[in-house]
Structure 1
Amino acid sequence: MDLANEELQFLSIPDILKESTSIPKQSPKAFYLITLTLIFPLSFAILAHSLFTHPLYSQIQASDPRHTHHQWTLLLTFQLCYLIFLFALSLLSTAAVVFTVASLYTSKPVSFASTMAAIPRVFKRLFITFIWVSLLMITYYAVFSAAVVLLIIAVDVQSPLLFFFALVVIFLLFVVVHVYITALWHLASVVSVLEPVYGFAAMKKSYELLKGKTRMAAALVFVYLVICGVISGVFGAVVVHGGEMYGVFFRIVVGGFLVGVLVIVNLIGLLVQSVFYYVCKSYHHQGIDKSALLDHLGGYLGEYVPLKSSIQMENLEV
């Protein structure tokens, strides 16, 4: 984060990764505690929940359908609690990392205690943005599902080649839009923390910042999702379903290793998310007034914030 504002726009994906992985070295204790208290539980929950749901699914499949009401209730309750816990940890991790990176960017003294003190106010803004993104995602899924049904009705299923081609097009379209919305969400989350906007306004700002950097954002998100998918797939195959093929010790070792890898991937992902925001700001020649940003961050800690401070220097020629 020692680069000048005008230099950030020229960072390539390898440069962003290099810059992101170097940030924890500036405050190793703070990032160590953030990783231990937030990112590790998040990563463990992502992988380990299948260890609990798989036995429940097995019981339901083996039981008489007339006597599975209790099992289904237990499973749905667990899934609901899991989703709440997962998204809460995800938002908390995002708040902690983005706030800490911004503090380092402004040369503000960084500590785990100050980061935790700022999280309650940051969390509210992130949650509102998350609600808006969720509404967008639900709307997209509804429209997409309707389009799929109409396409299946319209396409002649008697022609296997045509039907297969239509399914491939549908799948590619789904992936492209899903990746874009995910990139929009990640950038909007950073905007919600570092700028005086959140919710729909943060999404709009994120949309504007992504212009010109959409391909880079899509590549970063796609690689992240693929890596997470591979980790989850290996965990499911070896740890969850590999009881008959692998021993308990081997599964424990592999499970622990995969959780550790996912912790690193999630930490780097959050750091990249933060750095990419500064890259987009630089690309659009929107300089960041570090003193105003410092005041903005201080506002989360109850410090005095000048009424006229603004961290957005729109169209600033740097």
Structure 2
Amino acid sequence: MEAWKIIFSWRPRNVFTQITLTLILPLSFIALAHMEASKLLFPNTIHNEIVFNQTQAGAPKYHKLSDLTSERITFWLFVAAYFTFVLIFSLVSTSAVVYTIACIYTGREVTFEKVMSVVPKVLKRLMLTFVSTFVAVFAYSIVASLLMLIFITLVIFLASVKFLVPIVIVLGIVYVAGLVYMAIVWQLASVVTVLEDTCGFRAMMKSKALIKGKTGVATIISLMFNISVWLVQVAFEKLVVRGESSGMVSRVAIGIICLLLLSKLTLFGLVIHTVIYLVCKSYHHENIDKPALSDHLEVNLGEYVPLKPRDVQLV
């Protein structure tokens, strides 16, 4: 409710519109367009890659598929470029929206030019937080895989094989729950990186401490947001990418609707994660140090008024 009120309040609406058009809309377009581009440019690459990995070396099919090396290289370069652009626009959008919310809560005048002047100052810090999260997720996946392998081996040798499938399902659920929790920590850590003088693993630890007591609420909100995004992407893939029978005009219209929906969802998600940060600060009775934040963003120290926990209320 608070997030919607922030987005649609009259004062910052123009700034949110500019952020959406220049940052979030291109991000959403890239996220959707890569599905269509992959289908048009590389219709058989992934299938050929799977078959190549499953084909015995020396077989005629193996040599035939090995001749497609340049195609595979081009495909993976395309994937790398896609993730690079998504990451850049995502981090820039995060810094812009979070800074705008901070200005709104402190009563500061906010313009699109001022917001964009802040972005370069926090982009490197956000990148460091992202890399730290990636390292943490990678280490978590390695350790979890080893533990699951050991546990499954013990079950096979010490118990009945009939228990294997239920145990694998339970372990899989636990693993996914861990990934969801780490995703929530990363989202909150991104806000911490913009609004506080910390980044990387320190921002993750700060986020982990802040989320205590509000983990359930944050998880529900995060799941609802991600499911909504996933539904839009599924609709785009089925009705636009694979919807040849629908006709070009219908596919274009549906594609535009999906693009607008994804843009609005992305903006709403960034705003609500910032609100969650403010609510968590209030829950832990922590004041937001506005002078330190002003110094961090290199703005006029005298323009800030300290924000008290009572200033942050959800309705």
Same fold (TM over 0.5): yes
After TM superposition, the structure 1 = structure 2 runs for residues 8-47 of structure 1, keeping only pairs within 5 Å, are: 18-24=1-7, 25=9, 26-47=11-32
For residues 252 and 153 of structure 1, the distance between their equivalents in structure 2, rounded to whole angstroms, comes to 51
Render the CA deviation track for 1:107-131: whole Å, top value 9, x for unaligned: 1111000000010001122111111
Query: Once superposed, what is the RMSD of the aligned Cα atoms?
Result: 2.6
Contact kept in structure 1, 2:106 and 2:306, CA below 8 Å: no
**Whole-angstrom CA distance in 1 between matches of 2:128 and 2:108:** 27
Which amino acid in 1 is paired with 2:90? S
Q: CA deviation at 1:140?
A: 1.3
Residues 123 and 232 (structure 1), Cα distance of their counterparts in 2 relative to 1, 3 Å cut: same
Distance verdict in 2 for CA 1:233–1:147, change over 3 Å: farther
Structure 2 equivalent of residue 215 of structure 1: 216
Whole-angstrom distance in 2 between the partners of 1:250 and 1:154: 55
Instruction: Verify: 1:196 aligned to 2:197, yes or no.
Output: yes
Deviation at 1:99, TM superposition (A): 0.2
Paired letter, 2:233: S
Equivalent residues of 1:194, 1:297 under 8 A apart: no
Q: Residues 107 and 305 from structure 1, CA distance in 2 versus in 1: closer, same or farther, beyond 3 angstroms? A: closer
Secondary structure of the residue that 2:107 maps to in structure 1? coil
Deviations 1:166-224 (A, max 9, x none): 23212311221111101101111111111111112111111110110111111111111
Contact in 1 for aligned 2:129/2:190 (Cα 8 Å): yes
- Distance, in Å, in 2 between the alignment partners of 1:22 and 1:71 is 49
Give 1:147 shift: 3.3
Query: Is it true that 1:82 corresponds to 2:89 in the alignment?
Result: no
- Post-superposition shift, 1:160? 7.9
Corresponding residue to 2:294 among 294, 297, 313:
297
5+ residue gaps, structure 2: 49-60, 310-315
Name the TM-score, length of structure 2 as normaliser: 0.84
* SS at structure 1 position matched to 2:173: helix
Aligned residues: 290
Please give the per-residue CA displacement for 1:235-279, whole angstroms capped at 9, x wherever unaligned.
Answer: 222211222x32222222111111111111111000001111110
Distance 1:207 1:313, change over 3 A: farther
CA separation of 1:49 and 1:154: change in aligned 2, threshold 3 A: farther
Q: Does 1:147 align with 2:132?
A: no
- Say if 1:101 and 1:193 are closer, same or farther in 2 by CA, change over 3 A: same
Mapped partners of 2:124, 2:90: distance in 1: 13
SS for the counterpart of 1:108 is coil
Which residues of 2 match residues 1-318 of structure 1 at below 5 A? 18-24=1-7, 25=9, 26-60=11-45, 61=47, 64-156=64-156, 162-243=163-244, 245-290=245-290, 292=291, 296-297=293-294, 299-300=296-297, 302-303=298-299, 305=301
Paired residues of 2:155 and 2:161 also in contact (CA < 8 A): no
Higher relative contact order (CA 8 A, sep 6+): 1
Q: Distance in 2 between the 1:313 and 1:143 partners?
A: 41
Residues 1:312 and 1:106: Cα distance change in structure 2 (over 3 Å): closer
Give CA-to-partner distance per residue, 1:81-139, whole Å, 9 cap, x none: 11111111111000000000001111111100000001000112211111111111111
Amino acid at match of 1:29: N
- Report the AA paired with residue 276 of structure 2: F
| Pair 1:234–1:145, CA change in 2 (3 A) | farther
* Aligned 8 A contact 2:106 2:305 in 1: no
**Sequence identity (%):** 33
